[in-house]
Protein backbone atom coordinates (compact mmCIF):
# COMPACT_ATOMS: atom_id res chain seq x y z
CA UNK A 1 0.00 0.00 0.00
CA UNK A 2 1.27 3.43 -0.90
CA UNK A 3 1.05 6.23 1.60
CA UNK A 4 -0.85 9.45 1.00
CA UNK A 5 -1.22 12.71 2.94
CA UNK A 6 -4.70 11.59 4.09
CA UNK A 7 -3.35 8.18 5.20
CA UNK A 8 -0.61 9.91 7.19
CA UNK A 9 -3.13 12.27 8.83
CA UNK A 10 -5.39 9.31 9.65
CA UNK A 11 -2.59 7.41 11.39
CA UNK A 12 -1.65 10.48 13.44
CA UNK A 13 -5.24 10.95 14.65
CA UNK A 14 -5.69 14.18 12.68
CA UNK A 15 -8.79 15.11 10.69
CA UNK A 16 -8.64 13.51 7.24
CA UNK A 17 -10.96 12.75 4.32
CA UNK A 18 -11.88 9.08 3.98
CA UNK A 19 -12.67 9.48 0.26
CA UNK A 20 -8.95 9.59 -0.55
CA UNK A 21 -8.16 7.11 -3.35
CA UNK A 22 -5.42 5.34 -1.36
CA UNK A 23 -7.71 4.94 1.65
CA UNK A 24 -10.53 3.63 -0.53
CA UNK A 25 -8.14 1.20 -2.23
CA UNK A 26 -6.96 -0.16 1.11
CA UNK A 27 -10.49 -0.51 2.50
CA UNK A 28 -11.44 -2.44 -0.65
CA UNK A 29 -8.36 -4.67 -0.25
CA UNK A 30 -9.24 -5.34 3.37
CA UNK A 31 -12.93 -5.98 2.65
CA UNK A 32 -12.02 -8.56 -0.01
CA UNK A 33 -9.52 -10.21 2.34
CA UNK A 34 -12.18 -10.36 5.08
CA UNK A 35 -14.66 -11.88 2.62
CA UNK A 36 -12.13 -14.58 1.67
CA UNK A 37 -11.41 -15.27 5.36
CA UNK A 38 -15.12 -15.42 6.21
CA UNK A 39 -15.81 -17.80 3.29
CA UNK A 40 -13.15 -20.22 4.59
CA UNK A 41 -15.10 -21.09 7.73
CA UNK A 42 -14.17 -24.80 7.71
CA UNK A 43 -10.62 -24.37 6.39
CA UNK A 44 -7.55 -25.72 8.17
CA UNK A 45 -5.83 -23.58 10.78
CA UNK A 46 -2.94 -23.09 8.33
CA UNK A 47 -5.26 -21.74 5.63
CA UNK A 48 -7.08 -19.46 8.09
CA UNK A 49 -3.76 -18.05 9.37
CA UNK A 50 -2.70 -17.40 5.78
CA UNK A 51 -5.97 -15.56 5.10
CA UNK A 52 -5.76 -13.67 8.42
CA UNK A 53 -2.28 -12.48 7.58
CA UNK A 54 -3.57 -11.16 4.25
CA UNK A 55 -6.14 -9.05 6.12
CA UNK A 56 -3.54 -7.47 8.42
CA UNK A 57 -0.73 -7.24 5.85
CA UNK A 58 1.58 -9.69 7.66
CA UNK A 59 4.08 -10.99 5.11
CA UNK A 60 5.96 -13.42 7.38
CA UNK A 61 6.32 -16.84 5.73
CA UNK A 62 4.28 -19.67 7.18
CA UNK A 63 6.26 -22.44 8.89
CA UNK A 64 6.93 -25.62 6.95
CA UNK A 65 3.81 -27.76 6.95
CA UNK A 66 3.82 -30.72 9.35
CA UNK A 67 2.30 -33.95 7.93
CA UNK A 68 0.16 -34.46 11.05
CA UNK A 69 -2.81 -32.03 11.06
CA UNK A 70 -2.80 -31.52 14.86
CA UNK A 71 0.95 -30.93 14.91
CA UNK A 72 0.60 -28.51 12.01
CA UNK A 73 -2.12 -26.57 13.86
CA UNK A 74 0.11 -26.37 16.95
CA UNK A 75 2.77 -24.56 14.90
CA UNK A 76 0.61 -21.41 15.00
CA UNK A 77 -0.16 -21.32 18.73
CA UNK A 78 2.97 -19.29 19.52
CA UNK A 79 2.80 -16.99 16.50
CA UNK A 80 -0.79 -16.08 15.66
CA UNK A 81 -4.17 -15.40 17.26
CA UNK A 82 -7.16 -17.66 16.69
CA UNK A 83 -9.78 -15.69 14.79
CA UNK A 84 -13.28 -17.06 14.26
CA UNK A 85 -15.16 -15.44 11.38
CA UNK A 86 -17.09 -13.70 10.26
CA UNK A 87 -15.02 -10.62 10.96
CA UNK A 88 -15.18 -7.08 9.57
CA UNK A 89 -12.16 -4.79 9.62
CA UNK A 90 -11.84 -1.35 8.03
CA UNK A 91 -8.15 -1.23 7.03
CA UNK A 92 -6.47 -4.26 8.61
CA UNK A 93 -2.99 -2.78 8.45
CA UNK A 94 -3.53 -0.91 11.72
CA UNK A 95 -4.80 -3.92 13.70
CA UNK A 96 -2.22 -5.92 15.70
CA UNK A 97 -3.23 -8.98 17.73
CA UNK A 98 -0.91 -10.94 20.04
CA UNK A 99 -0.34 -14.68 20.14
CA UNK A 100 -2.68 -17.05 21.92
CA UNK A 101 -5.52 -14.52 21.69
CA UNK A 102 -9.02 -15.45 20.55
CA UNK A 103 -11.27 -13.19 18.48
CA UNK A 104 -14.78 -14.64 18.46
CA UNK A 105 -17.26 -14.32 15.59
CA UNK A 106 -18.80 -11.04 14.40
CA UNK A 107 -15.96 -8.83 15.59
CA UNK A 108 -16.06 -5.36 14.02
CA UNK A 109 -12.86 -3.29 13.94
CA UNK A 110 -12.59 0.33 12.72
CA UNK A 111 -8.82 0.69 12.72
CA UNK A 112 -8.35 4.24 11.48
CA UNK A 113 -5.51 4.48 14.01
CA UNK A 114 -3.47 1.70 15.56
CA UNK A 115 -5.47 -0.86 17.52
CA UNK A 116 -3.43 -3.36 19.54
CA UNK A 117 -4.65 -6.48 21.29
CA UNK A 118 -2.14 -8.14 23.60
CA UNK A 119 -1.36 -11.79 24.22
CA UNK A 120 -3.80 -14.24 25.85
CA UNK A 121 -6.80 -11.96 25.21
CA UNK A 122 -10.31 -13.39 24.80
CA UNK A 123 -13.12 -11.71 22.84
CA UNK A 124 -16.71 -12.86 23.15
CA UNK A 125 -18.91 -12.72 20.05
CA UNK A 126 -20.01 -9.36 18.61
CA UNK A 127 -17.21 -7.25 20.11
CA UNK A 128 -16.67 -3.85 18.47
CA UNK A 129 -13.46 -1.83 18.48
CA UNK A 130 -14.25 1.64 17.14
CA UNK A 131 -11.21 3.84 16.65
CA UNK A 132 -13.02 6.26 14.30
CA UNK A 133 -14.43 9.68 15.24
CA UNK A 134 -16.60 12.27 13.49
CA UNK A 135 -17.07 15.97 14.30
CA UNK A 136 -19.75 16.67 16.90
CA UNK A 137 -20.86 19.82 15.04
CA UNK A 138 -23.24 18.80 12.21
CA UNK A 139 -22.07 21.76 10.11
CA UNK A 140 -18.56 20.27 10.17
CA UNK A 141 -19.69 16.64 9.93
CA UNK A 142 -21.42 17.07 6.52
CA UNK A 143 -22.04 13.34 5.90
CA UNK A 144 -19.60 11.78 3.46
CA UNK A 145 -18.05 15.17 2.63
CA UNK A 146 -16.92 15.88 6.17
CA UNK A 147 -13.68 14.88 7.84
CA UNK A 148 -13.00 11.92 10.10
CA UNK A 149 -10.36 11.33 12.74
CA UNK A 150 -9.43 8.53 15.07
CA UNK A 151 -7.67 7.59 18.26
CA UNK A 152 -5.69 4.49 19.12
CA UNK A 153 -7.14 1.64 21.17
CA UNK A 154 -4.88 -0.60 23.27
CA UNK A 155 -6.00 -3.82 24.94
CA UNK A 156 -3.22 -5.19 27.12
CA UNK A 157 -2.35 -8.85 27.86
CA UNK A 158 -4.66 -11.30 29.63
CA UNK A 159 -7.89 -9.33 29.08
CA UNK A 160 -11.34 -10.86 28.65
CA UNK A 161 -13.85 -8.80 26.67
CA UNK A 162 -17.39 -10.13 27.05
CA UNK A 163 -19.92 -10.64 24.28
CA UNK A 164 -21.31 -7.52 22.67
CA UNK A 165 -18.85 -5.15 24.34
CA UNK A 166 -17.93 -1.91 22.60
CA UNK A 167 -14.51 -0.29 23.03
CA UNK A 168 -14.35 3.32 21.79
CA UNK A 169 -11.53 5.46 20.42
CA UNK A 170 -8.77 6.46 22.81
CA UNK A 171 -9.32 3.65 25.33
CA UNK A 172 -6.66 1.50 26.98
CA UNK A 173 -7.92 -1.66 28.69
CA UNK A 174 -5.38 -2.59 31.37
CA UNK A 175 -3.64 -5.92 31.79
CA UNK A 176 -5.81 -8.64 33.30
CA UNK A 177 -9.04 -6.62 33.06
CA UNK A 178 -12.48 -8.08 32.41
CA UNK A 179 -14.95 -6.06 30.34
CA UNK A 180 -18.48 -7.29 31.00
CA UNK A 181 -20.85 -8.38 28.25
CA UNK A 182 -22.56 -5.49 26.43
CA UNK A 183 -20.39 -2.88 28.18
CA UNK A 184 -19.53 0.36 26.40
CA UNK A 185 -16.02 1.46 27.33
CA UNK A 186 -15.58 5.18 26.65
CA UNK A 187 -12.70 6.20 28.92
CA UNK A 188 -9.20 5.04 29.73
Torsion angle, alpha carbons of 51, 55, 56, 58, to 10? 40
**Residue 66: active-site member:** no
Q: In whole angstroms, what is the distance from residue 155 CA to residue 167 CA?
A: 9
Give this prediction's pTM.
Answer: 0.95
Q: Considering 17, 66, 134, 154, which one is annotated as catalytic?
A: 134
**pLDDT (tens digit per residue) in 87-146:** 999 999 999 999 999 999 999 999 999 999 999 999 999 999 999 999 999 999 998 899
Find, among 43, 2, 44, 48, the residue nearest to 22 by Cα. 2
**pLDDT (tens digit per residue) in 13-58:** 999 999 999 999 999 999 999 999 999 999 999 999 999 999 999 9
Which CATH architecture does the domain made up of 5-185 adopt?
3 Solenoid (2.160)
Which sequence spans correspond to the domains of the chain? 5-185
Amino acid sequence: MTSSPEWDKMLRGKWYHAGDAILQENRTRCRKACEAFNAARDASRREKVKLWREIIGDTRPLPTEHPDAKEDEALFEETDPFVDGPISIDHGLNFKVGKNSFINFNALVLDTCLITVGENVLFGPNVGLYGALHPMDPAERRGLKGPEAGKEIHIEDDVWIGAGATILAGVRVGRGSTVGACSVVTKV
